[in-house]
Structure 1
């Protein structure tokens, strides 16, 4: 998304923890209360906010259009503050509509409301597009002089982010056209994807299941039940593959057209720029992970096949519990306490912020028909608080998902004082607190376990989560990159999309697997490809970053590590990854950084081989 666009992403920092299913059924699980945003779709405050935002945006345009260059530093700082206030109101409105829609994407009334709010907010925000365009027309010397004013210097980090896009912006009339057509273009295709998935039902052994329930069954202890779920998912996705292929082709072509007009050199360039990470850093990450396939995924899944007494695994065995593992289920209070205690052992401040999500109705926990699958954290606006969405089924992976999303939520709370324009972090750094929260929780559970069998179960769960977060996400990245590259030559058929999918799956997962036809269309349900192109490498970035960061913590070589860590989270979007990692002696530009991160994964696999 261009930095000049005042609309927030649908789900920030992403629509799900990782494209792996998981959830649970219980009427006792807590839901969220959105009243801290608005009291309902008919709340008069909502209409009042829309009216006030429209009037403020029109007045702002009348006052500043064509005048930004003439403003003093102090006056430009005041103008940005006014721009930020309008943006906060629009963010609040859209956050409410998005969260309401997320818990029931099959409700037509909610769907119309969400669409209506999106259209109204888009119309209002289009009046503001000129502002960042005019900021970017200032030459460096003029801007540097203005930045001596404290009121403007306060926004220096935001201005730096805005100006990163200056070479890729278009004239205002074109920017407004692209912006206003979003609701009938890209956003409409995203909504079609979301609502199609929400309406799907999977016939598993005569029972109708939602996507969340079907994906959860892929972790069942009974192989026959896993197979039934996998075949049902494959059959239903295949029945809808024409729709998913059309959405994929349309959005890839839409991105190609806009990238061409904006003069981006390759399909990944805009995402890297938004993530504030250099192309060569992403290339180093992807290369390091791909080079590790044999020593990570291939080695682990060969070990798992031996545990299962099989020469090769089926795809529905990938996340299966070990044959002798207990089918351990965690009650919600138990999961909550595990995560908060792990957070508290590291930092009481971290646990105190996390506790707020449970003391208040800030989490929607139970799976329901129509609810979006997966999990996410939405920051909403600094004047309110984040909300977390889960689909909790009580498995150990769901405990890790809670630890992950709570990490996002705590990060967003700590960064909120930076304000709407500077609290949001790039996707790569947004995954730091979430993956770190998982690591804290896992280490606490592992350290408390003395039984060798249960310890192996915990280790296998962590290894599989890391493989899903690192290897699998880089494989997803490769799939996405190849799709966008081939789309430049013409539309891809359903069979071609499936062929690319199978190629990257075979390469990443390795020779321990048999891949049957039911798996060919599993690309169809991955939301990240649709919601946020090239999001997925951020998971691998975050996991390897956290592994290196946690190694520093364990080594005890950085004084006041906890305080520095919380300062890093509180920085929000004001610092780049090089600046944030410097206090810990880490540098993501160094290839050794990624090898160190991957080394944590290989060490866990070493331990599992010894336990075996």
Structure 2
């Protein structure tokens, strides 16, 4: 059967969807057998064949008929569409997670590609359904959604219809969907596998990208400098390839945007995020205007702590000179996060605890594993999985709190079903950033020593700057790249110039940048996989800061219960409706000033300590 692969001897340990942790390591590794028991699973390939047959039958039944369906029949059709979609997502989720666990294994890469190709072919059979749904007149559709079966899906239908003006014909949509595997999808895979295979020679020590980037937080300036130079050397050697990938994907997006009649490169992302252009513009303007009192002011303060006029770029995430480089065991990190969650809401912590009781987290750093961290929702009928690369630092505890927040959010939203559980990116960061804030506050409140409190507060400020300032700088870089790509290909040097321009603007005059820093844009995967994703981090951070500030001030009865309701809504409500119970409105400029004010207050506190 197509897609059935024989695994090489080197990858047999993946057959059952898990990786055994070394005996000396207490770090957990996920077990994917809740999805499927291996790439050769008979159940997986039987499911795949059945799903394809169901998709063909769905097409035969409903092609050209959607507009004529009455309310009950429309509800039944959407329910069938959801069931087929969820079964397909389960297979694709398994393939993606398997690949994330070992991105350098050729046979696993082939398995992922085979499942992606098969999944694309199946999804192409059903593209017609949403296109025909969008052709129904508003009044007619409104009447049909009065039926309880169809009405349950009203939020999803509303979101589908947001794209009415940008959809193409069924035939054209199928062509674009299937061509993506040899187009954008192929370039994205090339990027992923290039990054996964990269090694960095740091003074004779061969490190992965995760390990080399972690070294930039080392207490030793010599070790930080060596890692920074090694990163720059290897990224420079691959600069032409990364530039080609970036140019090609930007061109691909421009072509797609032109055919779909999007007015500007960010329009598609804003629409999918269900957020107005004016709200995003207000966020970006508010953050950029605040650079001097946020990042510029903080890094000038950090330079004083280091006794220098200017920081080197490898000092950006350096621990403070008097930091004790506190390390956490996995058990300490787990308990810290869960206790912080429980102090806010025992119900929230109870959901989070399941991730540690079950093998749903992969925390072990290892060669070939995807760098960074993520939470994958998989499908509502299963459960999310978390990937982190735990090195024991305080930042790793915060990352765990962040990804666990995503996981809890995904579990709570699961009952909304496969079509409505996912939130737009702007709201997807709510639980993760809130979980970070809960954990930080718990750690800070448990620390009476003023020196240690200053270190912790500085670390939190740096994390928030990375989330707000740095992500808006990333966004500004992306906007400039896509704007210039409208007029032709950008040279590697021009891409680096744009990068250095936004870095100088956002980080301020307290930094000295060596030449190798110009290539650091190349490893940022969001630019490749999800254009204009990054502003969602700043949106989420400011949103949570406003939300948390409201929580601290009191006055909102049953705040934790309302918060859990917000998470449980999944993608069924707009940000205005979700924030209304807390008296917040993201369209109000004061909302963003209030969110940024939390970060400003932390920096004020640090200056007072100094």
Normalising TM by the smaller chain, what interval? over 0.9
Q: How does 1:456-605 map to 2 (within 5 A)?
A: 456-605=454-603
Distance 2:496 2:370 in 1: 24
- Residue among 259, 270, 273 paired with 2:271: 273
Over 6 Å off, 4+ runs: none
Aligned residue number for residue 397 of structure 1? 395
Q: Deviations over 1:438-492 (max 9, x none)?
A: 0000000011111011000100110000000000000000000000000011111
Residue 27, structure 1, aligned to residue 25, structure 2:
yes
TM-aligned CA deviation for residue 81 of structure 1: 0.3
Distance 1:189 1:500 in 2: 22
State whether residues 548 and 597 of structure 1, in contact with CA within 8 Å, keep that contact through their aligned partners in structure 2.
yes
State whether residues 71 and 147 of structure 2, in contact with CA within 8 Å, keep that contact through their aligned partners in structure 1.
yes
Aligned residue number for residue 80 of structure 1? 78
Aligned residue number for residue 307 of structure 1? 305
TM-aligned CA deviation for residue 145 of structure 1: 1.1
Q: Give 3-state SS (helix, strand or coil) of 1:203's partner.
A: strand
Distance 1:460 1:522 in 2: 24
Q: Give 3-state SS (helix, strand or coil) of 1:421's partner.
A: coil
State whether residues 383 and 411 of structure 2, in contact with CA within 8 Å, keep that contact through their aligned partners in structure 1.
yes
Aligned residue number for residue 91 of structure 1? 89
Distance 2:24 2:205 in 1: 18
Distance 2:161 2:468 in 1: 31
Q: Deviations over 1:322-373 (max 9, x none)?
A: 0011011110000000000000000000000000000000000011111111
- Give the TM-score of the pair, scaled to structure 2: 0.96
Aligned residue number for residue 3 of structure 1? none
Q: Give 3-state SS (helix, strand or coil) of 2:420's partner.
A: helix
> Looking at both structures, which has the greater relative contact order when contacts are Cα pairs under 8 Å and sequence separation is at least 6?
1
Aligned residue number for residue 430 of structure 1? 428
State whether residues 25 and 393 of structure 1, in contact with CA within 8 Å, keep that contact through their aligned partners in structure 2.
no
- Structure 2, unmatched stretches of 5+, are 1-21
Aligned residue number for residue 406 of structure 2? 408
Number of aligned residue pairs: 589
Aligned residue number for residue 219 of structure 1? 217
Q: Deviations over 1:257-305 (max 9, x none)?
A: 0000000000000000000000000000000000000000000000000
Aligned residue number for residue 340 of structure 1? 338
Q: Aligned-pair RMSD on alpha carbons?
A: 0.9
Q: Give 3-state SS (helix, strand or coil) of 1:388's partner.
A: strand
State whether residues 484 and 490 of structure 2, in contact with CA within 8 Å, keep that contact through their aligned partners in structure 1.
yes
Distance 1:597 1:423 in 2: 26
Q: Deviations over 1:390-428 (max 9, x none)?
A: 000000000000000000000000000000000000000
Distance 1:257 1:482 in 2: 17
Residue 53, structure 1, aligned to residue 56, structure 2:
no
State whether residues 25 and 392 of structure 1, in contact with CA within 8 Å, keep that contact through their aligned partners in structure 2.
no
TM-aligned CA deviation for residue 148 of structure 1: 1.1
State whether residues 332 and 394 of structure 1, in contact with CA within 8 Å, keep that contact through their aligned partners in structure 2.
yes
Q: Deviations over 1:97-134 (max 9, x none)?
A: 00000011110000000000000011111000000000
TM-aligned CA deviation for residue 230 of structure 1: 0.3
Aligned residue number for residue 165 of structure 2? 167
State whether residues 217 and 226 of structure 1, in contact with CA within 8 Å, keep that contact through their aligned partners in structure 2.
yes
Residue 384, structure 1, aligned to residue 382, structure 2:
yes
Distance 1:227 1:103 in 2: 29
Aligned residue number for residue 10 of structure 1? none
Distance 1:27 1:451 in 2: 32
Residue 325, structure 1, aligned to residue 326, structure 2:
no
**Structure 1 residues 140 and 390 mapped into 2: Cα distance closer, same or farther (>3 Å)?**
same
TM-aligned CA deviation for residue 25 of structure 1: 12
- Residue among 345, 348, 351 paired with 2:349: 351
Aligned residue number for residue 17 of structure 1? none
Distance 2:146 2:212 in 1: 58
- Give the TM-score of the pair, scaled to structure 1: 0.96
Aligned residue number for residue 184 of structure 2? 186
Q: Give 3-state SS (helix, strand or coil) of 1:292's partner.
A: helix
- Residue among 363, 366, 378 paired with 2:364: 366
State whether residues 26 and 330 of structure 2, in contact with CA within 8 Å, keep that contact through their aligned partners in structure 1.
no
TM-aligned CA deviation for residue 518 of structure 1: 1.1
Distance 1:438 1:258 in 2: 37
Q: Give 3-state SS (helix, strand or coil) of 1:557's partner.
A: coil
State whether residues 279 and 586 of structure 2, in contact with CA within 8 Å, keep that contact through their aligned partners in structure 1.
yes
Distance 1:278 1:25 in 2: 51
Q: Deviations over 1:141-193 (max 9, x none)?
A: 11011111110000000000000000000001000000011111111111000
State whether residues 274 and 426 of structure 1, in contact with CA within 8 Å, keep that contact through their aligned partners in structure 2.
yes
State whether residues 310 and 512 of structure 2, in contact with CA within 8 Å, keep that contact through their aligned partners in structure 1.
yes
Distance 1:25 1:162 in 2: 49
Q: Give 3-state SS (helix, strand or coil) of 1:249's partner.
A: helix
- Structure 1, unmatched stretches of 5+, are 1-23
TM-aligned CA deviation for residue 28 of structure 1: 2.1
